[in-house]
Structure 1
Protein backbone atom coordinates (compact mmCIF):
# COMPACT_ATOMS: atom_id res chain seq x y z
CA UNK A 1 0.00 0.00 0.00
CA UNK A 2 1.45 3.36 -0.97
CA UNK A 3 0.90 6.24 1.44
CA UNK A 4 -1.65 8.97 0.67
CA UNK A 5 -0.37 12.14 -0.99
CA UNK A 6 1.76 14.06 1.52
CA UNK A 7 1.75 17.86 1.43
CA UNK A 8 4.80 19.51 3.03
CA UNK A 9 5.01 23.22 3.67
CA UNK A 10 8.54 22.85 5.00
CA UNK A 11 9.94 25.17 7.66
CA UNK A 12 7.41 27.96 8.06
CA UNK A 13 8.58 29.67 11.24
CA UNK A 14 11.31 29.80 13.83
CA UNK A 15 11.39 30.94 17.44
CA UNK A 16 14.56 31.26 19.55
CA UNK A 17 16.40 28.81 17.34
CA UNK A 18 13.65 26.18 17.12
CA UNK A 19 12.34 25.62 13.61
CA UNK A 20 8.82 24.43 12.82
CA UNK A 21 7.51 22.70 9.71
CA UNK A 22 4.02 21.44 8.94
CA UNK A 23 2.87 18.59 6.72
CA UNK A 24 -0.33 16.66 6.17
CA UNK A 25 -2.26 14.18 4.10
CA UNK A 26 -5.75 12.76 3.69
CA UNK A 27 -6.07 9.53 5.70
CA UNK A 28 -8.87 7.09 6.51
CA UNK A 29 -7.20 4.61 8.86
CA UNK A 30 -4.42 4.19 11.40
CA UNK A 31 -2.52 2.19 8.78
CA UNK A 32 -2.59 5.22 6.45
CA UNK A 33 -1.47 7.49 9.32
CA UNK A 34 1.49 5.17 9.90
CA UNK A 35 2.28 5.08 6.16
CA UNK A 36 2.30 8.89 5.93
CA UNK A 37 4.52 9.20 9.01
CA UNK A 38 6.92 6.64 7.54
CA UNK A 39 6.99 8.53 4.23
CA UNK A 40 7.73 11.80 6.03
CA UNK A 41 10.49 10.24 8.12
CA UNK A 42 12.05 8.72 5.00
CA UNK A 43 13.43 12.24 4.63
CA UNK A 44 16.44 12.22 6.96
CA UNK A 45 15.84 15.79 8.11
CA UNK A 46 12.37 14.87 9.40
CA UNK A 47 13.60 11.58 10.86
CA UNK A 48 16.20 13.52 12.88
CA UNK A 49 13.72 16.17 14.08
CA UNK A 50 13.25 16.57 17.82
CA UNK A 51 9.46 16.12 17.58
CA UNK A 52 6.97 15.03 14.91
CA UNK A 53 3.66 15.71 16.70
CA UNK A 54 0.43 14.92 14.92
CA UNK A 55 -3.34 14.64 15.09
CA UNK A 56 -6.03 13.09 12.90
CA UNK A 57 -9.81 12.78 13.05
CA UNK A 58 -10.83 9.46 11.48
CA UNK A 59 -14.19 7.68 11.12
CA UNK A 60 -13.05 5.39 13.96
CA UNK A 61 -12.20 8.33 16.25
CA UNK A 62 -9.51 10.87 16.98
CA UNK A 63 -5.82 9.94 17.15
CA UNK A 64 -2.85 12.01 18.28
CA UNK A 65 0.79 11.78 19.28
CA UNK A 66 2.88 14.29 21.23
CA UNK A 67 6.17 12.59 20.26
CA UNK A 68 7.75 14.03 23.40
CA UNK A 69 6.25 17.54 22.99
CA UNK A 70 3.73 17.17 25.81
CA UNK A 71 0.27 18.47 24.89
CA UNK A 72 1.06 19.34 21.27
CA UNK A 73 -0.98 16.46 19.80
CA UNK A 74 -4.10 17.71 21.59
CA UNK A 75 -3.54 21.25 20.25
CA UNK A 76 -3.45 19.86 16.68
CA UNK A 77 -6.49 17.66 17.32
CA UNK A 78 -8.59 20.51 18.72
CA UNK A 79 -7.76 22.70 15.73
CA UNK A 80 -8.70 19.90 13.31
CA UNK A 81 -12.00 19.42 15.13
CA UNK A 82 -12.76 23.17 15.17
CA UNK A 83 -11.99 23.38 11.45
CA UNK A 84 -14.24 20.37 10.78
CA UNK A 85 -11.41 18.67 8.88
CA UNK A 86 -11.94 14.93 9.09
CA UNK A 87 -10.00 12.09 7.46
CA UNK A 88 -6.86 14.21 7.49
CA UNK A 89 -3.53 14.03 9.29
CA UNK A 90 -1.56 17.13 10.27
CA UNK A 91 2.03 16.77 11.46
CA UNK A 92 3.95 19.60 13.12
CA UNK A 93 7.71 19.01 13.13
CA UNK A 94 10.04 20.82 15.51
CA UNK A 95 13.80 20.97 15.45
CA UNK A 96 14.78 22.14 18.94
CA UNK A 97 16.98 25.22 18.93
CA UNK A 98 18.46 25.06 22.40
CA UNK A 99 16.07 27.33 24.32
CA UNK A 100 12.91 26.33 26.16
CA UNK A 101 9.83 28.07 24.73
CA UNK A 102 7.44 27.40 27.62
CA UNK A 103 3.83 28.08 26.66
CA UNK A 104 4.95 29.74 23.42
CA UNK A 105 5.58 26.26 21.99
CA UNK A 106 1.79 25.78 21.83
CA UNK A 107 1.40 29.07 19.98
CA UNK A 108 4.03 27.95 17.45
CA UNK A 109 2.16 24.64 16.96
CA UNK A 110 -1.06 26.62 16.46
CA UNK A 111 0.70 28.92 13.96
CA UNK A 112 1.94 25.91 12.00
CA UNK A 113 -1.48 24.21 11.93
CA UNK A 114 -3.13 27.50 10.94
CA UNK A 115 -0.72 27.82 8.00
CA UNK A 116 -1.62 24.30 6.89
CA UNK A 117 -5.37 24.92 7.23
CA UNK A 118 -5.00 27.95 4.94
CA UNK A 119 -3.88 25.80 1.99
CA UNK A 120 -6.36 26.62 -0.81
CA UNK A 121 -6.88 22.96 -1.79
CA UNK A 122 -8.27 22.22 1.69
CA UNK A 123 -10.78 25.05 1.42
CA UNK A 124 -12.04 24.27 -2.09
CA UNK A 125 -13.08 20.70 -1.33
Structure 2
Protein backbone atom coordinates (compact mmCIF):
# COMPACT_ATOMS: atom_id res chain seq x y z
CA UNK A 1 0.00 0.00 0.00
CA UNK A 2 1.48 3.34 -0.99
CA UNK A 3 1.31 6.57 1.03
CA UNK A 4 -1.76 7.93 -0.77
CA UNK A 5 -3.69 4.70 -0.27
CA UNK A 6 -2.67 4.62 3.39
CA UNK A 7 -3.66 8.25 3.98
CA UNK A 8 -7.04 7.85 2.36
CA UNK A 9 -7.69 4.50 4.04
CA UNK A 10 -7.08 6.21 7.39
CA UNK A 11 -9.72 8.77 6.49
CA UNK A 12 -12.19 6.09 5.42
CA UNK A 13 -11.74 4.26 8.73
CA UNK A 14 -12.26 7.49 10.69
CA UNK A 15 -15.46 8.12 8.72
CA UNK A 16 -16.75 4.64 9.55
CA UNK A 17 -16.08 5.35 13.23
CA UNK A 18 -17.79 8.75 12.89
CA UNK A 19 -20.93 7.13 11.49
CA UNK A 20 -20.83 4.49 14.19
CA UNK A 21 -20.61 7.14 16.92
CA UNK A 22 -23.58 9.03 15.46
CA UNK A 23 -25.64 5.86 15.15
CA UNK A 24 -24.80 4.90 18.73
CA UNK A 25 -25.81 8.35 20.01
CA UNK A 26 -29.23 8.26 18.32
CA UNK A 27 -29.87 4.75 19.61
CA UNK A 28 -29.33 5.72 23.23
CA UNK A 29 -25.56 5.69 23.70
CA UNK A 30 -23.65 8.59 25.14
CA UNK A 31 -22.61 10.99 22.38
CA UNK A 32 -18.87 11.18 21.87
CA UNK A 33 -18.79 14.94 21.47
CA UNK A 34 -15.00 15.05 21.25
CA UNK A 35 -14.86 12.56 18.39
CA UNK A 36 -17.61 14.38 16.49
CA UNK A 37 -16.19 17.85 17.13
CA UNK A 38 -13.84 20.10 15.20
CA UNK A 39 -11.06 18.58 17.34
CA UNK A 40 -11.99 14.99 16.54
CA UNK A 41 -9.92 12.54 14.50
CA UNK A 42 -11.56 13.28 11.14
CA UNK A 43 -11.08 17.03 11.55
CA UNK A 44 -7.50 16.43 12.65
CA UNK A 45 -6.89 14.36 9.53
CA UNK A 46 -8.04 17.28 7.36
CA UNK A 47 -5.85 19.75 9.31
CA UNK A 48 -2.75 17.59 9.22
CA UNK A 49 -2.60 15.00 6.45
CA UNK A 50 -5.20 16.64 4.25
CA UNK A 51 -3.67 20.09 4.16
CA UNK A 52 -0.06 18.93 4.06
CA UNK A 53 -0.45 16.26 1.38
CA UNK A 54 -3.50 17.20 -0.68
CA UNK A 55 -3.93 20.96 -0.37
CA UNK A 56 -3.56 21.48 -4.12
CA UNK A 57 -6.18 18.89 -5.00
CA UNK A 58 -9.66 20.26 -5.75
CA UNK A 59 -11.20 17.18 -4.14
CA UNK A 60 -9.91 18.27 -0.72
CA UNK A 61 -12.26 21.26 -0.61
CA UNK A 62 -15.20 19.09 -1.58
CA UNK A 63 -14.22 16.52 1.04
CA UNK A 64 -13.98 19.19 3.74
CA UNK A 65 -17.35 20.67 2.78
CA UNK A 66 -19.04 17.27 2.88
CA UNK A 67 -17.48 16.50 6.24
CA UNK A 68 -18.75 19.80 7.69
CA UNK A 69 -22.21 18.85 6.42
CA UNK A 70 -21.81 15.48 8.15
CA UNK A 71 -20.87 17.18 11.41
CA UNK A 72 -23.86 19.52 11.17
CA UNK A 73 -26.22 16.64 10.40
CA UNK A 74 -24.80 14.59 13.29
CA UNK A 75 -25.24 17.44 15.75
CA UNK A 76 -28.80 17.94 14.53
CA UNK A 77 -29.67 14.25 14.93
CA UNK A 78 -28.22 14.09 18.42
CA UNK A 79 -30.25 17.18 19.29
CA UNK A 80 -33.39 15.53 17.94
CA UNK A 81 -32.71 12.44 20.02
CA UNK A 82 -32.17 14.51 23.17
CA UNK A 83 -35.46 16.32 22.43
CA UNK A 84 -37.22 12.92 22.42
CA UNK A 85 -37.73 13.05 18.65
CA UNK A 86 -36.28 9.59 18.40
CA UNK A 87 -37.99 8.43 15.20
CA UNK A 88 -36.95 11.63 13.45
CA UNK A 89 -33.37 11.11 14.62
CA UNK A 90 -33.39 7.52 13.38
CA UNK A 91 -34.77 8.59 10.00
CA UNK A 92 -32.07 11.25 9.77
CA UNK A 93 -29.42 8.55 9.75
CA UNK A 94 -30.24 8.19 6.05
CA UNK A 95 -28.83 11.69 5.52
CA UNK A 96 -25.66 10.70 7.35
CA UNK A 97 -25.35 7.67 5.10
CA UNK A 98 -25.91 9.69 1.91
CA UNK A 99 -23.34 12.32 2.87
CA UNK A 100 -20.88 9.63 3.87
CA UNK A 101 -21.34 7.85 0.54
CA UNK A 102 -20.76 11.12 -1.32
CA UNK A 103 -17.61 11.76 0.69
CA UNK A 104 -16.38 8.22 0.11
CA UNK A 105 -16.89 8.63 -3.65
CA UNK A 106 -14.80 11.81 -3.64
CA UNK A 107 -12.07 10.05 -1.64
CA UNK A 108 -12.06 7.21 -4.17
CA UNK A 109 -11.95 9.69 -7.03
CA UNK A 110 -8.92 11.40 -5.50
CA UNK A 111 -7.25 8.04 -4.94
CA UNK A 112 -7.87 7.01 -8.56
CA UNK A 113 -6.46 10.27 -9.88
CA UNK A 114 -3.28 9.95 -7.80
CA UNK A 115 -2.51 6.38 -8.84
- TM-score clears 0.5: no
Select the structure of larger CA radius of gyration: 2
TM-score (normalizing by structure 1): 0.28
Normalising by the residue count of structure 2, what TM-score does the alignment of the two structures yield? 0.30
Between Structure 1 and Structure 2, the one with more strand by share is: 1
